[in-house]
Amino acid sequence: MPHPPLALVGAACRLPGGVVDLPSFTAHLRAGRDVIRPAPAWRGFDATYDPRPGALGRSCQIEGGWLDHLRDVDLAAFGLNPREATALDPQHRLLLE
Protein backbone atom coordinates (compact mmCIF):
# COMPACT_ATOMS: atom_id res chain seq x y z
CA MET A 1 0.00 0.00 0.00
CA PRO A 2 1.55 3.35 -0.99
CA HIS A 3 2.16 5.94 1.70
CA PRO A 4 0.36 9.28 1.45
CA PRO A 5 2.50 12.39 0.88
CA LEU A 6 4.11 13.81 3.99
CA ALA A 7 5.30 17.35 4.62
CA LEU A 8 7.56 18.27 7.50
CA VAL A 9 6.51 21.82 8.28
CA GLY A 10 8.41 22.46 11.48
CA ALA A 11 10.72 20.91 14.01
CA ALA A 12 12.55 21.95 17.13
CA CYS A 13 15.08 20.40 19.43
CA ARG A 14 17.28 21.08 22.40
CA LEU A 15 20.01 18.53 22.90
CA PRO A 16 23.34 18.23 24.74
CA GLY A 17 26.38 20.00 23.35
CA GLY A 18 24.64 23.26 22.55
CA VAL A 19 22.32 21.80 19.92
CA VAL A 20 19.38 24.19 19.75
CA ASP A 21 18.02 23.71 16.24
CA LEU A 22 18.14 21.33 13.29
CA PRO A 23 21.16 22.96 11.59
CA SER A 24 23.27 22.65 14.77
CA PHE A 25 22.07 19.05 15.18
CA THR A 26 23.14 18.26 11.62
CA ALA A 27 26.51 19.97 12.17
CA HIS A 28 27.13 17.87 15.30
CA LEU A 29 26.26 14.67 13.45
CA ARG A 30 28.46 15.47 10.47
CA ALA A 31 31.40 16.44 12.69
CA GLY A 32 31.00 13.31 14.81
CA ARG A 33 31.11 15.36 18.01
CA ASP A 34 30.95 13.60 21.36
CA VAL A 35 28.68 15.57 23.69
CA ILE A 36 29.18 13.36 26.75
CA ARG A 37 30.93 15.25 29.56
CA PRO A 38 31.15 15.40 33.37
CA ALA A 39 28.10 16.73 35.18
CA PRO A 40 28.03 20.50 35.76
CA ALA A 41 28.95 21.37 39.36
CA TRP A 42 25.58 23.04 40.03
CA ARG A 43 23.79 19.72 39.46
CA GLY A 44 25.26 18.44 42.75
CA PHE A 45 26.49 15.06 41.54
CA ASP A 46 29.78 15.48 43.41
CA ALA A 47 27.89 14.97 46.68
CA THR A 48 26.44 11.62 45.60
CA TYR A 49 29.22 10.24 43.41
CA ASP A 50 30.81 6.95 44.42
CA PRO A 51 32.91 5.02 41.87
CA ARG A 52 31.77 1.69 43.35
CA PRO A 53 28.78 0.34 41.40
CA GLY A 54 25.90 -0.57 43.67
CA ALA A 55 26.81 1.77 46.53
CA LEU A 56 23.52 2.45 48.30
CA GLY A 57 22.12 5.93 47.68
CA ARG A 58 25.04 6.85 45.42
CA SER A 59 25.72 7.17 41.71
CA CYS A 60 28.74 5.61 40.05
CA GLN A 61 28.09 7.62 36.89
CA ILE A 62 29.00 11.30 36.71
CA GLU A 63 29.17 11.80 32.95
CA GLY A 64 26.23 12.33 30.65
CA GLY A 65 24.68 14.38 27.90
CA TRP A 66 23.86 17.55 29.84
CA LEU A 67 21.74 20.39 28.51
CA ASP A 68 23.32 23.83 28.69
CA HIS A 69 21.71 26.98 30.08
CA LEU A 70 19.11 25.38 32.35
CA ARG A 71 20.19 27.78 35.07
CA ASP A 72 19.35 30.74 32.82
CA VAL A 73 15.58 30.20 33.04
CA ASP A 74 13.95 33.25 34.67
CA LEU A 75 12.29 31.43 37.56
CA ALA A 76 11.20 34.69 39.22
CA ALA A 77 8.87 35.18 36.27
CA PHE A 78 7.06 32.06 37.48
CA GLY A 79 6.84 33.33 41.05
CA LEU A 80 9.61 31.13 42.46
CA ASN A 81 11.84 32.52 45.18
CA PRO A 82 15.61 31.75 45.24
CA ARG A 83 15.19 28.86 47.70
CA GLU A 84 12.54 27.20 45.54
CA ALA A 85 14.60 27.83 42.42
CA THR A 86 17.62 26.09 43.94
CA ALA A 87 15.57 23.01 44.78
CA LEU A 88 13.77 22.86 41.43
CA ASP A 89 14.46 19.76 39.36
CA PRO A 90 16.27 20.58 36.09
CA GLN A 91 13.52 18.79 34.15
CA HIS A 92 10.98 21.19 35.64
CA ARG A 93 13.18 24.14 34.65
CA LEU A 94 13.11 22.88 31.08
CA LEU A 95 9.34 22.49 31.16
CA LEU A 96 8.87 26.04 32.46
CA GLU A 97 11.12 27.42 29.75
Residue 72 confidence (pLDDT) above 80 = no
- What pLDDT is stored for residue 62 in this prediction? 87
38 confidence band (pLDDT: 50, 70, 90): very high
DSSP summary character for residue 87: H
How large is the average pLDDT for residues 27-54?
A: 90
Q: Are 35 and 16 in contact (CB under 8 A)?
A: yes
- What pLDDT is stored for residue 44 in this prediction? 82
Residue 87 confidence (pLDDT) above 90 = no
% residues pLDDT > 70 (the chain): 100
SS (H, E, C) 18-51: CECCHHHHHHHHHHCCCCCEECCHHHCHHHCECC
